[in-house]
Amino acid sequence: MNESGLAQQLLNLIGGKQNINQVWHCATRLRFTLKDRAKVPKDKIEALDDVITVVEASGQFQVVIGNNVGDVYHEVVKLEPSLSEGETSGETAAQGKMTFKSAFNSLLTFISGVFTPFLGAMAGAGILKGLLSLAVVMGWLTAKSGAYQIWWAAADGIFYFLPIALAFTAAKQLKVNQFVSMAIAAAMVSPGIVALGAKATTIDFFGIPVVPANYTATVLPILLVVVVQKFLEPVFNKLWHESVRNIMAPLCLLVVIVPLTLIVVGPISATVSSWLATAIVSLNKSVPILAGLVLGGFWQVIVIFGVHWALVPVMMNNIAQNGTDLMMPILLPAVLSQAGAALAVFLRTRDAKMKSLAGSSTITALFGITEPTIYGITLKLKKPFYLACVAGAVGGMIVAISGAGANAAALVSVLSLPTFIGKGFGLSVVGDVVAFALGTVLTYFFGGINAGAKAKTAPSANSEPGEVLAAPVKGVLVPLTGLADEVFASETMGKGVAIVPENGMVKAPVAGVIRLLYPTGHAIGIQSDKGSEILIHIGIDTVNLKGKHFQPLVAQGQHVEIGTPLVQFDHEAIEKEGYESTVMMIVTNSDQYQIATLGQGATDDRPVMTLA
């Protein structure tokens, strides 16, 4: 399938721009924030030829595609120009109660959205820094040569002026004036302020003493500044008439925020950065084996859950504060162990498709892109992933003991090795080799590779024919194709039925396990004991009610029998709010069955569908 065809299919399955709040991409994944996840058939997206897998983490619906993800993203934007990177489509998603989990997910989404647009450029510049360090060590160049100085400017520029790049992407995420944000960042790294910071010279701002800090290559100060701008910009926009707003609002922001940054925001963030850097360095110095065990062994798990974005600013601040970061070298064994596991799968598997994927994934993992390896191979086969984590932990402990540090931020890969040149470099390379070799050997002999492939293709014991689905709610059966919601009506998510409810009690149509339960109560997913996957969606666009008029009666993971009450809802109140209360029951894996609908009219508790 070409990129254009894949983009069109993804948009169709996800529900079009009307179901997308935001879409952007990183090195291997299309990342969506959705209005209503229940409308999206995850299994059908995973079944697309060029999709490796689908991951749901950090409040995002992530479609793992691989190295051509950028091309697919551009095709998505071509089809729907309103979905350009970092922008929202339509109204923002309805937000429920603020919880620690939702707040943390929002933070991770913000950080990933800030860094991913220029991650490739920053990784390339970091690798160039490493190569220049290697060239000096090997005697190929001197630090005073013209070639070195020109290339060093090319490598160092994006890091020196990093606050300006971050200002642009952070402002885009928070929907504030990007060029005002860049102007504030430029003031922070202007030559005069940098010179004052280097000399620790105290200056006076209307009687308030100001000690400028060095903000070049920093992360946290500008992110905090843009958050402050988010609150102040609407105030100044309202203050001025629209005839002069475009000039006077930016003027006020610069006059207020730049001094505020140098007096308050900058010093606070610099202190926080210093504490974080000190904590990481202290852990590496005091208990290096523990640091190596945790980071080397669990880094890929952290990546899977998207939490790694929370640590990127810490690593970059370590370099800004101390000149080196001890975390990045420890992460390389975690990357190389996955590459070793993929190589073992390539050498041993008898499945032609798996062999082809494993071969290409080995190479991409060596160069720091592990998502195709994880989602396409090691995690899918399970044992190889666990064994690679063990190998990464062993290699990570060796690297941590070496005390090696990175002198530039770069994508962690074999190409980042030159940035580790210095103290402990030799022993850190030993740890990297051990991680790769151990990942290969353990997976080759104990990974259950061919057994895993066989299990994947073997028919499921639960996929018995002859399953009967009862009506989930009392009411009148109507055709699914007649609904106002195009996603359900087109049967994109799967075949099913729709019922106009006469009461407000949704019951289990089959015996099975609750696999999906939205906190808002408007949607619930069941995997039946015989293998069918059933989605019950109450109303159209009722996610916007934020749980109002819905009362879930079961818990996720709970086993239910036919007729078990699942959700109580007030269909009359829902309709008064302006929403349809029609209940949809969809078999999301309907491509595995021959499905028949049993008549029309009143449902009561009678069977309404059969699967064969």
Q: Which helix (H) or strand (E) holds 320?
A: helix 312-322
Indicate the burial class of 28 (C-beta count within 10 angstroms; 0-12, 13-18, 19 or more). Answer: buried
To the nearest 10 degrees (0 to 180), the angle between helices 266-286 and 220-239 is 160
537 tagged catalytic: yes
The whole-angstrom separation of Cα 454 and Cα 52 is 19
389 tagged catalytic: no
Helices (H) and strands (E) in the chain, counts: 23, 20
**Taking phi first (over 0 means left), then psi (-120 to 50 degrees means alpha), and beta for anything else, what does residue 13 get?**
alpha
For the chain, percent helix, then strand, then coil, each to nearest 5? 55, 15, 30
**How many CB atoms are located within 10 Å of the residue 132 CB?**
23
498: Cβ contacts below 8 Å, ≥ 6 apart: 477, 478, 479, 480, 482, 483, 488, 582, 583, 584, 585
The whole-angstrom separation of Cα 57 and Cα 324 is 30
DSSP track, 90-158? SSPPP-----HHHHHHHHHHHHHHHHGGGHHHHHHHHHHHHHHHHHHHTTS--TTSHHHHHHHHHHHHH
Provide the token pair at 178: 């990007």
The whole-angstrom separation of Cα 181 and Cα 165 is 10
> Which residue is catalytic, options 25, 522, 537, 549?
537
Residue length, the chain? Answer: 612
**Strands, DSSP E only, in 149-300?**
203-205, 208-210
Question: Where do we find the tokens 């890091």?
Answer: 159
Question: Where do we find the tokens 């892109």?
Answer: 369
Indicate the burial class of 460 (C-beta count within 10 angstroms; 0-12, 13-18, 19 or more). Answer: exposed
> Which residue is catalytic, options 26, 252, 389, 549?
26
| Closest-CA residue to 538 (of 470, 603, 472, 602) | 472
**Taking phi first (over 0 means left), then psi (-120 to 50 degrees means alpha), and beta for anything else, what does residue 2 get?**
beta
The whole-angstrom separation of Cα 547 and Cα 535 is 17
Residues marked active site are found at: 26, 537
